[in-house]
Structure 1
């Protein structure tokens, strides 16, 4: 009798299985459809909370649900910092190679006070890309010359009567990225920088208030016996959303700063 091929389900598959079980579909039907044993379906049902938490984590960080496992990085602060830096560079269409990413990981590890023997090896890079669903680092689509783009953008802004003082876009600096992942953001500064619109209605919660409350909630939850790694990671991601909006309140990079690079 030929040996059956082992099927490894993705996180998306596991999530969908739990959704269908909840709607009343039988484990037998699902095991036949996904070509796995009924015991596997039972195990997936038992892991429902962890799977849902992990899917939420992937959604909030732009990760891939095609992943097969829930294993996270050993140093989550470093992993978060490098990924935030990477996504910002990618959004700016800056060229990023494997060596550049590894060099940045080493720099961040040092600034975060990580292990002195840390090496951003090819193995580390491979695992980092796998964790975040990154297939290629290079941007393959045709890219305009940077100088040409800057000239065209300046012309457009002049035509639209934008002033040099206009805050056109926001860039999060590396120091701010490190603050976001290490809980060092200054809530006091944030509170003093909150715009007046945040105070017009006491029922409206601003980004600064949300960040402060989430910081307190996170510190409390980390000490509770009921907490697990995935739930804490999800809460950190929610805190980071508030923190990124908070950065916008504290000031944005002027457009002239872009043209200087």
Structure 2
């Protein structure tokens, strides 16, 4: 059972179980997808009356704008702090994807900077207001609890300890592969990444024009992708995509059947992968796909899924698997060593995003060369989420078997084919970047390697 509940002390020693705002929204979404109240109650180990109460308050709950993990939204809590923590989560994610160690000191310093910047833009702001937020130790501990972020360390010397933890885990992992006789085809890694699917390089005229316009900024439209593949690199699992809209306008226009998409489509207000969505993906996509793959290739029905300990990845995941997938075992990376070891972080996601940008520029070139549309007209009126899905499919398909296999060299070097894998990812980067820059200039965009 996912650990979505927390216990709050009450008088007399009794404990009352509470459900987070985030999970209440998941319960509503699950019910709206057709799941029965009784099944939801059983999944959460709650009474049907509790679930019905949540469903009755669905409109009120939908309006709550809470950071992930929050039980209640306090009216006394300044709205600007919610904005600070949302921006902070995006910043932390970007730093970790880049392989940087994120410490308490860095987070508090960034939080104070974000707060000062946001408050300075409010009407009637004074210097006293700007200094009202101290980013204290207490705030930091509460932020970790509210947001569910685990991979944060308190001390600057963490870099060396992270390296030691990564080295010890890799040694233990390789022994496990030998003792349990896992084949590269049977070992998988998955990881989430945010994608600003309509973003253009900073210095292009389209970006400058959007920044100058008031209201919604389409380039800030984000979705989350969960990508997964095995260590041999010959099998990619259908990705999970989480967007803020269940039925975008383009779906109706294109008469989309979600079951036929190249991704498992799910939605919530913040476009985040949650525990419920992750377990759904495991049971509905990952389990059936890997079982079919192993049987078709006459391989033993045995799978190991290795991943980080993100809030969306429940520690008791194996308990949530359907009986037919009891051959799947799960192993978690140690905290603060994920960026050093996780295969998806070793150029795979980076390579995917470069290929996405390349395919996007190719699409822009094709449209502006073969139609009467200008790039600005195409970008504003014709590039929608269905276009994005086609490009995601093309980019994920373009991540090669060799790239996927080479990404395991730090964690499981024995499974990497050939002897040139160490320099492979770096060797392949410049041509892709050069192609993107060349395409950008061809369609009239001011762009260089640093922008990419």
The structure, 1 or 2, with the larger RCO (C-alpha pairs under 8 Å, 6+ apart) is: 1
Same fold (TM over 0.5): no
Normalising by structure 2, report the TM-score: 0.28
Normalising by structure 1, report the TM-score: 0.45
Larger strand proportion of the pair: 2
Larger helix proportion of the pair: 1
